Structure formats: structure tokens, C-alpha cells
Amino acid sequence: MSVPTSSPVVALSNVSKSFANGTLAVRDVTLALQPGSFTSLLGPSGCGKSTLLRLMAGLSEPTTGSVTRPQTVGTTSFVFQEPTLMPWASALDNVTLPLDLAGAPKAEAAAKGRELLARVGLKGFEGSYPRELSGGMKMRVSIARALVTQPQVLLLDEPFAALDEITRFKLNNDFLELWKEQRFTAIFVTHSVFESVYMSERVLVLAACPGRLAADLAIQTEHERGEQFRTSADYARLCRQTSEALEKAMKT
Ligand SMILES: Nc1ncnc2c1ncn2[C@@H]1O[C@H](COP(=O)(O)OP(=O)(O)OP(=O)(O)O)[C@@H](O)[C@H]1O
Ligand SMILES: [Mg+2]
């Protein structure tokens, strides 16, 4: 008997995207993402990762093929590579922005914003301005802002790429904890084999020029995601396997 799967939160069917200047950024991509899953998009610079993410978010239309996002799917949030905070507003006001724009009562929005800032480790920094925060702290504010609407789908475009390794590892762990708690569907763009394997249940490897799906890898391990996984034999094996798939993709 086959195990029933729930309907995907986003499905791409034979999607291609070309730009006005003639660049074919993405060619014939078909994929479906299950609710609550954690998927990484891994590939070299220019292979169409950001283009695919924008297509999934509905920020851009495919040239051919179709993108389906069921009506029943709740909010979609986007975390950009740069934290893109409003410099003149406090951390709290930055986080509550999506709620303020939606017309939520001020007190309710502030309470929710405070709760999320605490959740990302920024209790006590509610009144700080972006210029007073480190790069890692700004990224935490940006993640809190993305989560304030309780999205069902969260798309992240290389969110930790600009951070030092120690901060990145810490944010990887904190973000995984949030995902385990809230079980939003995460789509995570990264250049890093190690990060993709550490974070996700599934890695989609992309080949470049034009961007295509080269491999669809299940990251299966008995380890709970976290530091004990990072030092396991499973992690080393899965990184090697993913690295080989990426190398192969880069030759095609
Ligand atoms: N608006 C645009 N107009 C024309 N070409 C574009 C546009 N956006 C992206 N491209 C081209 O499409 C291809 C894919 O770009 P995309 O930004 O999706 O790559 P990426 O995988 O996200 O790269 P990176 O890892 O450097 O962020 C590139 O060749 C890029 O030059
Ligand atoms: Mg990009």
C-alpha cells in the first residue's frame, strides 16, 4: 500500500524562465515541495537559484510551464541575502512591519514582535537600531520579521552567506530549532554543500547555463539535526555524496 502524501505547498511543472535580454536562467524544472519539509537549493553562482526562489514565491512569472500554489497555503515569507532592515526604525519596529502593514492592532503586533525577537536570541535589543547591531544580529531581526506572520512557507536566499563561520553555525542551529518548533516549509538557497546537508532533508542540486535540476538527494540520517550530526560519520558520507553530485552537475 502506498503511503498517501499531502498536497504540495508549491509545485513547478516544466518551468522555464528567460529574461528580456535573452538569458535563459532556468530550463524545464519540475518539482513539488511537501508541507513542513526542509529543502535546500544548491548550485554555483548564476545557476538560477534566486530566479527559482522568486518563481516559487510568485514574485516572478515563468516564461513557460506553471507554478501552482494552492489557495489553502497560508502566508509565504522571504528572507533576502542582505537583512534589508529599515535603518530609521528599531529592531522591534522592523519586526512588526508586516503586521503594521496588515493593519494589526499596535499592542498585539508589539507583543508578537517581542516574542519573536526573544525567540531569535535578541531579548533586550528591541529598541536598538540596525546600525547598533552586528551582521548576525541583523540577520536574526530579518528572520524574526519573516516569521512574525506565521508563514506556512519560508523562502531564504543565502541568508547566512555573509557571516563568519561561528556565527553561521550558531544561526544554523537556532534556525533548525525554529523549524522543528513551527514546521513551516523551508526552501533554503546556499552555495555550501556542508550547510545544505546540515540543514535539510532534501537537496536539489542545480546545474548552470541554463539552470536545471541535476540531482534530487534525500538527506537521510538517524541523527537528530544538531551538533551531534555535524560530527557524525553519516554527515561526512552525505557531504561527500552531495559534493560528488555537485561536481557532476558542474560538468554538464
Ligand atoms: N533580471 C534579470 N535580467 C537578466 N538576466 C538575469 C536577471 N536576473 C538574473 N539573470 C540571469 O539569470 C541567471 C541566473 O541568475 P540568478 O540570480 O537566479 O542566479 P543565482 O544562482 O541566484 O546566483 P548567485 O549564487 O550568484 O546568487 C544569471 O545568468 C543571471 O545573469
Ligand atoms: Mg542568487
Q: Could you tell me the distance, in angstroms and rounded to a whole number, from the CA of residue 61 to the centre of ligand 1?
A: 15
For ligand 2, a single-atom ion, the residues with CB < 5 A are 50
Name the residue with the closest Cα to ligand 1, atom 30: 46
Kindly indicate whether the domain formed by 1-70+153-252 is annotated with CATH number 3.40.50.300: yes
What pLDDT, on a 0 to 100 scale, did the predictor assign at position 91?
98
Cβ neighbours of residue 23 closer than 8 Å, sequence gap 6 or more: none
Q: How far is the CA of 52 from the centre of ligand 2 (A)?
A: 9
The C-alpha angle with vertex 61 and arms to 12 and 246, in degrees rounded to 5, equals: 50
Phi-psi region of 22 (alpha: psi -120 to 50; beta: other; left: phi over 0): left
Q: Please, what is the Cα angle at 56 between 50 and 58, to 5 degrees?
A: 105
Q: At what angle do helices 165-182 and 135-147 cross, to 10 degrees?
A: 10
Query: Cell 535546500, residue?
Result: 40
Question: So where are the chain's domains?
Answer: 1-70+153-252, 84-151
Task: Tell me the pTM.
Answer: 0.92
Q: How far, in Å, are 73, 78, 185 from residue 55 at the CA level? A: 16, 12, 16
Q: Enter the C-alpha cell of residue 105.
A: 492592532
Q: What is the mean pLDDT of each run of 10 residues along the chain (252 residues)?
A: 68 97 95 96 93 93 94 83 93 96 94 94 96 94 93 93 87 92 95 95 94 95 89 96 96 84
